[in-house]
Amino acid sequence: MIILVTGGSSGLGEAITRDLARDVNNTVYFTYNNSLANAKKIEDDHKNTVAVKCDFKNESEVNSLAERIAQLNLDMLVNNAYFGAFIKSYFHKTRPEDFLEEFKGNIIPTIIITQAAINAFRKKKNGKIVTILTSALLNVPPTGASIYVANKAYLQKMTKVWASENVKYNITSNTVSPSFMLTSFTKDMDERLVEQMIENHPLKKLLTTDEVAAAVTFLAGATQQITGTDIIINAGTNIQ
């Protein structure tokens, strides 16, 4: 398979890139912005990976990536890239401009890249889209995460549209919704809160990026009958 992973050079994205690259039959393109050194290390470790510079806040770089997608003969797109802080401020203290800025820097680039992928997939009548969301946070948003949660909720609905509009073209759109993980994205979380989360966790341990990456790899090899679904990875804490 020829695969593109956005935001694939660090944290969860790196785990996804590396897991997909373990299959030597895959060619895995992955985007990076500030993690050039780590991107080169991934390329050194996995000769079937290709790093692509793309700053989601740079319109020219996003458009360049979208144009390149048409030339890659892509089989799968993994939407993982996200910039901005996980926790910011109370909703009533957040400037409206901040919502717009992060929407323009996260959602619009994801739309542009996914549109390019779908156009390519429709021509070959085959393709897979996997989008990384979040699980419990959409139902019980933590204090200060209104921008992040709102953007992920928007993507959640978009992925359903991609699934329903493209199923007849043999194109799937699924999501993976992990619970809280310790990554560079969540490094500013209060240590006491993290300890409490571990204590309250059914397994007494937090989810790892490798566990989430395995779910993405599963979807890479899954039947086209699986589409419009969300793989929730949170140790069953959503069971009613």
pLDDT in tens, 23-72: 999 999 999 998 899 999 999 999 999 999 999 999 999 999 999 998 99
Q: Whole-angstrom Cα distance, residue 170 to residue 205?
A: 38
In terms of average pLDDT, the best of 47-51, 101-105, 134-138, 236-240 is 47-51
As a whole number of angstroms, the distance between CA 164 and CA 161 comes to 5
Residue range 127-154: mean pLDDT, rounded:
78
Q: Which of 18-22, 143-147, 193-197, 224-228 has the lowest mean pLDDT?
A: 193-197
- Mean pLDDT value across residues 195-200: 64
Question: pLDDT (tens digit, 9 = 90+) per residue, 67-102?
Answer: 999 899 999 999 999 876 666 677 788 888 888 888
Distances in Å between the alpha carbon of 42 and those of 76, 91, 124, 217?
19, 38, 29, 17
pLDDT at 237 over 80: no
Chain centroid to Cα 43, Å, comes to 20
pTM of this structure: 0.88
pLDDT for 121 beyond 60: yes
Flag the least confident range among 94-98, 161-165, 229-233: 94-98
Given pLDDT bands bounded at 50, 70 and 90, which one contains residue 20? very high
Residues 214-235 have a mean pLDDT of 94
**Quick one: 55 exposed, middle or buried, by C-beta within 10 A (0-12, 13-18, 19+)?**
middle
Beta bridge partners of residue 30, listed in sequence order: 5, 51
Mean pLDDT rounded to a whole number for the chain: 87
Structural domain spans, the chain: 2-233
DSSP state string for the chain:
-EEEETT-SSHHHHHHHHHHHTSTT-EEEEEESS-HHHHHHHHHH-TTEEEEE--TT-HHHHHHHHHHHHHHT-SEEEE----S-S----GGGS-HHHHHHHIIIIIHHHHHHHHHHHHHHHHHT-EEEEEE--SHHHHSPPTT-HHHHHHHHHHHHHHHHHHHHHGGGTEEEEEEEE--B-SGGGTTS-HHHHHHHHHHSTTSS-B-HHHHHHHHHHHHTS-TT--S-EEEESTTTT--
Output phi, psi for 6, to 5 deg: -80, 145
What was the pLDDT predicted at 240? 47
User: What six digits make up the tokens of 198?
Assistant: 């571990």
The pLDDT of residue 186: 54
In the CATH hierarchy, which fold is given to the domain comprising 2-233?
Rossmann fold (3.40.50)
Please determine, for residue 129, whether its predicted confidence score (pLDDT) is greater than 80: yes
